[in-house]
Chain A
């Protein structure tokens, strides 16, 4: 948990403006910096007007799927006698992603404010913030901030005297990656084993405790106060060419770069420049080899695919990968791709919830075959086997963990086949001693 790097002039500071500013953490400090004005403003608006503003802004889910946030809120059923919930997904467990952690560390009230506005928009009285178990520091900071928000009237039976009840309950995860999958998170919140649920029914119909529920990522909710305060037009204007990808995005750059950290850029920012200019590029003497642009679950991009790729939803999809969570894992020419893919597969095999057959057995088998290859015991048909296993693990299961394990394997074999073949041909020293 390092101190964030100083901001780069080419960043667009919206969410990360107060990263590193410890004064922004307290309620008073947040109000001094203009905080909670948006919540007061939103509470004067009708829920439909809040939803309309967010729809208009073009804000899309920052957790990975990129679903339009306003549309998601609009999917909630009409208000009836039942309770309804907002769940904030702060289980940030995607390898390579560490943006939500920083939002909670530096601007906890920004998140609480966003949660309160969203709760108002979907007419929910209760917000659950599900915080990753390993986030000890953010957990403490959020606990303090929620206490302050209640004390100072932003939360409670009548938020800022508006008559609207808004309660925020923090819930700490217990260290399972799968609990970041939204329906597994609902089960976990209910006290059950964190297994993803079958959809339909979707959470808006039957979510937490079977009641209408909206689930949003930390970064998504943290962006909401800015949209309310500065207007949808302003947010929509934060776009570099692609009108479907608006606003700023925190990109967690890690791996072989000289200045790893979170960089907030306007969507559409050139990926090449983000890696080389902002993050400093690979260490001297090294060249860029590959990038996993959206957290470990998305396909690997080669250096040439990175060149000219805009950092936005559609731009990355056009190059065969996804923006995902914005966790950018950069690999230079010293990287053993087979080894890295094995490490990823091992992660997924460890984290599979074990519900679906393909995932439970397939992830573990994939690891074994990759280990065999790395140990210099690979067979000529192992790559076909891996591709076939990956095919059988894709699109067949309740959630996409299985697909996520297959994605780097498939893209890795497609794009770096010669490295696999070198191991199999015994032209490369084994990287693992034994199978």
Chain B
């Protein structure tokens, strides 16, 4: 791709694109989507489905838009009678062996075959009485089923495994209309990124067992979010139905994850649907906790914060939003603070075909965000410092045995801002219900310092609130005129005062693909400690 621009006309609309751009990509810029199956922007193009054939002036034959580079002055017709007729015939050919089992197919509603046939296919078949090709469903791997009957042999899955995952275990087997997607003997489709073949499949031929028959595509609400699985910060869509998260899918971001997410991230959503959540603020009353309202709970927290001068410890989850991490830390300003972020570790699993894309060892999304806000990774030191701290604040960290043992013995005031209440820790002064990342808006900063927004995908349970809201309310003090942030956007805008790296940034300025924070800001960020 060069800097030189060439001008082409697509259905009468002129567009200037870099030399080397394909007709299909050039057409996208004019708002025309040339129908296609085998083409995918993150895979090499084989030009085999022949769906994207377009008419190019002076070319003797229709040309595949996905592999034909534009030429200066070229006149392309996507909607010409000849091109439409060719597409109609491809759709007819694809349908002769495709079972019309849309009513039981998971893909229905988001099926590219269904969409294009409705858009410009024939109203009825000319295939007649013949039986369609039949092969039974194959179990390809831990989460993947192959339904050969629905397969249109676009080979996206084969190319993903071969060229992107570099684990070439899928192939086209047999020839002619007997062809199907084959899998190498004794080799399950269990590559850590294999689940992407399900998303890549334009029809319902490759299915996720996890999502099998779970919901109809048209019943889903899709929310733009960021994967909470590791520091890579892959962009995802959180798909919910009736406030239940039913699947996570990749959302394209060419700078972070292209069109892919790993299987770990994809399957890491069940905690979002936990039913055993804290739903109301709880205050300690002797040896037990009693539910109260937010006014009382915030008063109590205000008393604790303002009534102590000694050192504070914050034990935060690496899943907490930048807003919550920042404001909670801000709340305890004016005293020595030991702030730590909890970082579970796992094995790294790269996707070889995409530079700088991997499931990272650090299995939290906001490690860098936390570090920019002065949180340290030394968890053990923070746990031991908790013993003599005046205030110990837990921000939704996972409380396993070492944490519970340490926290049961703290001398100061223990405040839990959590999604799930621990069974022990009767010594906690307050247990306040907070939202999870799918129940709030916020920002994560990934390992490459890219600040990215995630959005609320479902309603929080009961009275749960974002931790930044709790901190903001307490800092503002009681009363209706309080100057506390009411949205994550307002909370985010406050961060710049204490941490210059976030200065001048707003949610809107991050856009939908995020923004890399300025270099050298890391040193400044530490200044508040």
List residues of A whose CB falls within 8 A of some B CB: 176, 178, 193, 198, 349-358, 360-365, 368, 372, 385, 392, 395-398
Contact = CB atoms under 8 A, between A and B. Distances in A.
B64 interface: yes
Interface string B88-115: 0110111011000000000000000000
A350 B50 contact: no
B62 interface: yes
14 contacts: A178-B175, A352-B175, A352-B176, A356-B50, A357-B90, A357-B152, A358-B93, A360-B153, A360-B177, A364-B177, A368-B130, A396-B62, A396-B86, A398-B47
B374 to A, nearest CB: 53
Nearest to B179: A354
Contacts of B86: 392, 396
A363 B176 contact: yes
B217 interface: no
A362 B93 contact: yes
A353 B127 contact: no
B515 to A, nearest CB: 39
B61 A395 contact: yes
Contact of A360 (B62, B67, B171, B176): B176
Interface string B124-136: 0011101000000
Interface string B33-76: 00000000000001111110100000001101001000000000
Contacts of A355: 46, 48, 153
A372 B127 CA distance: 12
A330 to B, nearest CB: 28
Contacts of A362: 93
B137 interface: no
Nearest to B154: A357
Given A354-B153, A357-B50, A392 B89 contact: yes
B172 interface: yes
Q: Which of B50, B67, B176: most chain A Cβ within 10 A? A: B176
Nearest to A364: B177
Contacts of B171: 193
A353 B53 contact: no
B174 interface: yes
- The main secondary structure of chain A at its interface with chain B is helix
B62 A361 contact: no
Contact of A351 (B62, B153, B176): B176
A50 to B, nearest CB: 33
Contact of A176 (B96, B130, B175): B175
Nearest to B89: A392
Q: Which 7 A-B pairs have the closest CB atoms?
A: A354-B179, A392-B89, A361-B93, A364-B177, A352-B176, A355-B48, A395-B61
A44 B126 CA distance: 64
B46 A365 contact: no
Interface in B136-189: 152-153, 171-172, 174-179
Contacts of B93: 357-358, 360-362, 365, 392
A350 B174 CA distance: 10
B86 to A, nearest CB: 6
A193 to B, nearest CB: 7
Given A357-B48, A392-B92, A396-B61, 4 more contacts: A357-B94, A358-B90, A360-B177, A372-B128
Interface of B: 46-51, 53, 61-62, 64, 67, 86, 89-90, 92-94, 96-97, 126-128, 130, 152-153, 171-172, 174-179
A364 B176 contact: yes
Nearest to B178: A354
Given A357-B90, A365-B93, A385-B126, A351 B175 contact: yes
Q: Which of A193, A361, A395, A397: most chain B Cβ within 10 A? A: A361
A117 B130 CA distance: 54
Contacts of B61: 395-396
Contacts of A178: 175
Contacts of B126: 385
Nearest to A176: B175
A392 B84 CA distance: 12
Contacts of A350: 175-176
Contacts, number: 81
A198 B64 contact: yes
Contact of B48 (A176, A372, A398): A398
Q: Which of A178, A363, A385, A396: most chain B Cβ within 10 A? A: A396
A396 B50 contact: yes
Nearest to B175: A354
Nearest to A193: B172
A353 B50 contact: no
A203 B427 CA distance: 77
Contacts of B51: 357
B405 to A, nearest CB: 60
Nearest to B51: A357
A198 B63 CA distance: 11
A2 to B, nearest CB: 30
B13 to A, nearest CB: 25
A55 B86 CA distance: 39
Contacts of A385: 126
Nearest to B37: A357
B459 to A, nearest CB: 45
B67 A354 contact: no
A356 B154 CA distance: 9
A368 B62 CA distance: 27
Given A363-B176, A395-B61, A357 B49 contact: yes
Contact of A365 (B127, B175, B178, B179): B127
Contacts of A360: 93, 153, 176-177, 179
Contacts of B97: 361
Nearest to A394: B61
A229 to B, nearest CB: 40
Given A361-B96, A364-B176, A392-B93, A397 B50 contact: yes
A128 B15 CA distance: 46
A198 B46 contact: yes
Q: Which of A198, A350, A360, A392: most chain B Cβ within 10 A? A: A360
Nearest to B130: A368
B175 A353 contact: yes
Nearest to A360: B177
Contact of A349 (B46, B128, B176): B176
A361 B94 contact: yes
A91 to B, nearest CB: 15
Contacts of B53: 396
Contacts of A353: 175
A358 B152 CA distance: 12
A362 B153 CA distance: 14
B48 A356 contact: yes
Nearest to B97: A361
B176 A198 contact: no
A30 B398 CA distance: 85
B307 to A, nearest CB: 74
A379 B86 CA distance: 25
Q: Which of B53, B61, B86, B90: most chain A Cβ within 10 A? A: B90
B63 to A, nearest CB: 10
Nearest to A352: B176
A114 to B, nearest CB: 32
B172 A354 contact: yes
A364 B51 CA distance: 19
Nearest to B61: A395
Contacts of A398: 47-48
A236 B175 CA distance: 43
A363 B152 CA distance: 16
Contacts of A392: 86, 89, 92-93
A406 B175 CA distance: 18
Contacts of B64: 198
A350 B172 CA distance: 15
Q: Which of A354, A357, A365, A397: most chain B Cβ within 10 A? A: A357
Contacts of A357: 48-51, 90, 93-94, 152-153
Contacts of A365: 93, 96, 127
Contacts of A356: 48-50
B442 to A, nearest CB: 45
